[in-house]
């Protein structure tokens, strides 16, 4: 029998192992949640500004994509739950200090408004689907009411969509035990990334040149802001505590350097923004490829953030104590 001395109960590999339990489901949920927030924001903007002629796809057809994306994301989140039958417990109370509780209740508010937003333009964007709904009991009345409430619903959608987009980042930053997540920049970063991926998706779906021009210009701005936030994140971690400095070394020469810079930043941000700038100046047409790369970059951002955060720790057991002191204590 080998006796071991446990000097501390915190940050000890015997007691506090590294968190490595989230798989693909969480990045998928975070990506689709942010994408949904972006879709809702742009669709609401088109309604409030009366842009049905300039942004017909965004105004009439884009809203239906939001509930589809969020439903797929929620399915991925449900698959990740260990005790799936207890999901209702999220709604038995509200914890103001818990980002997860905030997110659960935001989703309860988002879903009905998202459906109202979709129904309000269904006759314009998807007449065949609207015709099928009108055959249902109260279907025609539901569409009429949604159309009457189009502008008030759009006004309510924007703050809730912003909250949904920020929540997907705050959910990670709330884990203060993980230094890579312990920053207030993740919420704004994920919100801007969600808007950028929504703009890229709109570029794929839109047909009018003026609408493509609007989203190309918007995406260039959003990618620029996203790059700024990423630079701020790296600088913030580089000037933080010793363990944060050790954590940021994962992307500055460590194991995640190649995935972060060559798999995410280069193809997901830098190449698309250059392509879109060229397209804005009429030098070439890269809108489809650039949009696909932006969507890829949005997913890779969430995937890498989840992976790197799980392997980061505040204190390494090997460097927490003087090895010679431990040897004397165990003799």
pLDDT tens for each residue of 49-104: 999 899 999 999 999 999 999 999 999 988 888 788 888 787 888 888 777 888 88
Q: What is the pLDDT of residue 215?
A: 96
Which distant-in-sequence residues (6+ apart) come within 8 Å of 95 by Cβ?
Answer: 101
Q: What is the pLDDT of residue 20?
A: 55
Q: What is the pLDDT of residue 273?
A: 96
Nearest residue to 62 (alpha-carbon basis) of 20, 121, 111? 121
Which distant-in-sequence residues (6+ apart) come within 8 Å of 81 by Cβ?
Answer: 87
- Domain range for 157: 29-174
Q: What is the DSSP letter of 86?
A: G
Q: How is 10-63 classified by DSSP, letter by letter?
A: SS-TTTSPPP----THHHHHHHHHHHHHHHHHHHHHHHHTT-TTTSHIIIIIGG
Q: Quick check: is 16 in a domain?
A: no
Is the domain of 219 the same as that of 124?
A: no
Number of domains comprising the chain: 2
Q: How is 194-254 classified by DSSP, letter by letter?
A: HHHHHHHHHHHH--SHHHHHHHHHHHHHHHHHHHHHHHHHHHHHHTS-HHHHHHHTTTTTS
Q: Quick check: is 289 in a domain?
A: yes
Model confidence at 321, pLDDT cuts 50, 70, 90, reads: very low
Domain end marker among 174, 209, 235: 174
Q: Quick check: is 12 in a domain?
A: no
Above 80 in pLDDT, residue 228?
yes
Domain end marker among 174, 194, 229: 174
pLDDT tens for each residue of 247-262: 788 888 888 999 999 9
Nearest residue to 225 (alpha-carbon basis) of 252, 191, 183? 191
Is the domain of 244 the same as that of 276?
A: yes
Q: What is the pLDDT of residue 319?
A: 46
Is the domain of 35 the same as that of 91?
A: yes
Q: How is 121-134 classified by DSSP, letter by letter?
A: THHHH-HHHHHHHH
Model confidence at 318, pLDDT cuts 50, 70, 90, reads: very low
Is the domain of 104 the same as that of 244?
A: no
Higher pLDDT, 180 or 112: 112
Is the domain of 66 the same as that of 198?
A: no
Is the domain of 52 the same as that of 105?
A: yes
Domain end marker among 122, 142, 174: 174
Is the domain of 127 the same as that of 216?
A: no
Is the domain of 330 the same as that of 181?
A: yes
Is the domain of 163 the same as that of 219?
A: no
Above 90 in pLDDT, residue 37?
yes
Is the domain of 135 the same as that of 237?
A: no
Q: What percent of the chain has pLDDT over 70?
A: 87
Q: Quick check: is 20 in a domain?
A: no
Please state the pTM of the whole predicted model.
0.86
Is the domain of 57 the same as that of 148?
A: yes
Above 90 in pLDDT, residue 48?
yes
Is the domain of 183 the same as that of 139?
A: no
Residue 275: HSE in the Cβ half-sphere, 13 Å Cα cutoff: 19
Mean pLDDT of the residues in the chain: 86
């Amino acid at each position: 029998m080998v006796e071991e001395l446990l000097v501390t109960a915190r940050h000890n590999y015997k007691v506090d192992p590294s968190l490595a339990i989230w798989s693909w489901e969480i990045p998928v949920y975070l990506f689709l949640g942010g994408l949904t927030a972006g879709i809702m924001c742009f669709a609401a903007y088109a309604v409030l500004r009366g842009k049905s002629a300039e942004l017909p796809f965004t105004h009439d057809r884009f809203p239906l994509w939001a509930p589809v994306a969020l439903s797929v994301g929620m399915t991925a989140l449900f698959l990740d739950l260990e005790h799936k039958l207890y999901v209702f417990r999220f709604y038995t109370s509200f914890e103001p200090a818990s980002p997860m509780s905030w997110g659960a209740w935001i989703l309860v508010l988002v879903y009905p408004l998202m459906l109202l937003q979709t129904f309000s333009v269904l006759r314009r964007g998807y007449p065949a689907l609207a015709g099928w709904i009108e055959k249902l009991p109260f279907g025609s009345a539901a569409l009429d009411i949604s159309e009457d409430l189009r502008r008030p619903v759009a006004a309510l959608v924007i703050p809730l969509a912003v909250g949904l987009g920020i929540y997907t980042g705050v959910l990670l930053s709330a884990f203060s035990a993980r230094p890579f997540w312990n920053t207030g920049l993740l919420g704004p970063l994920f919100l801007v990334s969600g808007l950028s991926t929504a703009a890229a998706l709109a570029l794929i779906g839109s047909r009018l040149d003026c609408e493509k021009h609007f989203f190309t210009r918007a995406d260039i701005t959003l990618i620029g802001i996203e790059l700024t936030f990423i630079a701020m994140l790296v600088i913030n971690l580089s000037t933080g505590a010793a363990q944060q400095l050790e954590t940021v070394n994962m992307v500055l020469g460590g194991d995640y350097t190649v995935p972060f810079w060559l798999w995410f930043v280069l193809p997901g941000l830098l190449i698309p923004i250059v392509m879109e700038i060229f397209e804005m100046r009429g030098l070439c047409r890269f809108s489809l490829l650039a949009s696909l790369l932006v969507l890829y970059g949005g997913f890779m951002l969430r995937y890498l953030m989840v992976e790197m955060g799980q392997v980061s720790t505040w204190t390494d057991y090997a460097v927490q104590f003087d090895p010679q002191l431990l040897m004397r204590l165990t003799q």
